[in-house]
Amino acid sequence: MSLEKLYRHLRWRMQPEDERARRRFERIRAFFESLNLPKNPRVLDLCAGTGIAGAAASKATHARLLTVLDAREEDLEKAREWLKIADINPGLQTIVGDVREVHRLVKEHDLAILWGLTMPHFDPFDAIKIFAGVSTVLSEDGVFMVEETDRLYMISRSRYKDLLVETRGEDYTIISIHEGYDMRRGLFKRGYYKLPGFERIGEMETRLWDLASQLAIGRIFFEEARLITTAEHGITGVSDVLYFRKPSKKVAEEVLMSQMK
């Protein structure tokens, strides 16, 4: 079942016409401005959606190029609107594709971001391929940042629910229900239903990542790996951020080659 129908109902604050999304844009920009990031970089926004985070990073760093990559073309078409809101005019490249194939899809960049708590879409095998792929397309002193949260800790605090209200619209509610677990891939399966009527609109497999595991994977493919917690950066609306710098390209290329055999 395609995720397109499901994504149309789930509400993420990334639409340019949404005032709440515009406030989120300003908070993301403020976070990037607080860091010592590459100047005038080529920015790569992965799983970009509408490009809200990529535009914020481009504004903060005076980027000369923004590349937005996502599987959904409909969302990518809005990236230019975010650049207008940011009042900047870098080169813009949109790529419809699978982030797991990033090493095949893009050329060299200086700053890559994976924003918006996206990692649950990927199992550990996917994560290795993504981190390795990003490492190969970054410049020598390139930076990769992932916005995430520690879902293992959340589970320990009894936050995982068999039935969960995901979002509410003007005349509908979307709920998700636990429907299974894949032990080999470490993925939970949830079905999504629209109320009233209990119409099934999709399903999603998710990995409930902890932060330490992602830091460990990233350290394989980057010389520097560290965590910037919400307490450290203090910006409301931005979660914990994994920060990686100086890609270990040879290691990444060897890993990607081994997966092709």
Q: Name residues whose C-beta falls within 8 Å of residue 82's C-beta, 6 or more positions apart in sequence.
A: 16, 25, 50, 51, 52, 54, 55, 56
- Domain-wise residue ranges, the chain: 12-150+209-260, 161-206
Residue 1: pLDDT band with limits 50, 70, 90: very low
The CATH code for residues 12-150+209-260 is 3.40.50.150
Type of residue at 230: T
Of the pLDDT bands very low, low, confident and very high (cuts 50, 70, 90), residue 4 is: low
Q: Which comes out higher in pLDDT, residue 202 or 67?
A: 67
Indicate the pLDDT class of residue 153, thresholds 50, 70 and 90: confident
- Express each pLDDT in 55-80 by its tens digit: 999 999 999 999 999 999 989 999 99
pTM of this structure? 0.88
- For the chain, give the percent of residues with pLDDT over 70: 93
Helix ranges (H only) for the chain are 4-9, 19-33, 52-61, 73-76, 79-86, 102-105, 124-137, 151-156, 211-221, 230-233, 249-260
Where would I find the beta strands (DSSP E) of 55-207?
Answer: 65-70, 91-96, 109-114, 138-148, 163-168, 173-182, 187-195, 199-206
The per-residue b/e assignment along 14-23, b for 16 or more CB within 10 angstroms, e otherwise, is: bbbebeebee
Enter the tokens of residue 248.
Answer: 């270990």
Q: What token pair was written down for 121?
A: 């879409």
Percent residues over pLDDT 90 in the chain = 80
Distance CA 127, CA 137 (A): 16
Question: What is the per-residue pLDDT across 169-179, written as a single tens digit (0 to 9) for each?
Answer: 888 999 999 99
Helix (H, G, I), strand (E, B) or coil at 93: strand
